[in-house]
Amino acid sequence: MNRESNSNADLNDDFAMFRESLNGVKPIKQDQVQLKQIKKTQSVELKQQVKQQQSEFYFSDEYIPDIDTSGTINYVKPGADRYLAKQLRRGDYAPELILDLHGLNKETVKQELAALIHACKKQHIACACIVHGIGERVLKHKVPQYLVQHPDVLAMHQAPLEYGGKGAVLILVDLPDDPSFGR
């Protein structure tokens, strides 16, 4: 019991010293800053505007590249190995991402293509499949024309049957850290 009373006395002395040291101290007035909260709809709209701007940067409806979109789609970026298109055709590359564009309009397609290529680069995925369908052939002609304009598309070829055949295209994305692309 003697120990408990000594420790209580020491504690009371500590509190007394603390109170003494606070004599003459005035509380400060706290400044408060009210942050304006952004509504979720505004942030969603902002993200959509950024996506639209990014897709418009790469993809133009007015530019028509010199590729045949009525037959088998086949493209290799100038300066890249022509053998890449043959490897895509033979199925040497299996797509790790598949983008289905059925039912989308051209503006949304541009945004989705830009997002797909960005995702491929971010996740270090070399090959992706874009399913555009056949339908009225609008996207069948536009998708390759858009892809040719993107600087990170190394090659593309009509997909093998197991990935969509005439209604899809396989792309190879330029991954500068990937040694398998042997430049």
Res 44: pLDDT: 74
DSSP 150: -
Averaged pLDDT of the chain: 81
Q: Is 84 left (phi over 0), alpha (psi -120 to 50) or beta?
A: alpha
Q: Where are the domains of the chain?
A: 42-173
CATH for the 42-173 domain, from 1.10.287.3510, 3.40.50.10190, 3.30.110.60, 3.30.1370.110:
3.30.1370.110
Res 131: pLDDT: 93
> 128 near 170, Cβ under 8 Å?
yes
Query: Please, what sign has the CA dihedral across residues 117, 120, 125, 130?
Result: negative
Res 154: pLDDT: 93
Res 181: pLDDT: 45
> 178 near 121, Cβ under 8 Å?
no
Res 178: pLDDT: 47
Mean pLDDT for back-to-back runs of 10 residues, the chain (183 residues): 62 83 80 66 70 65 73 87 88 91 88 89 92 83 89 91 90 74 41
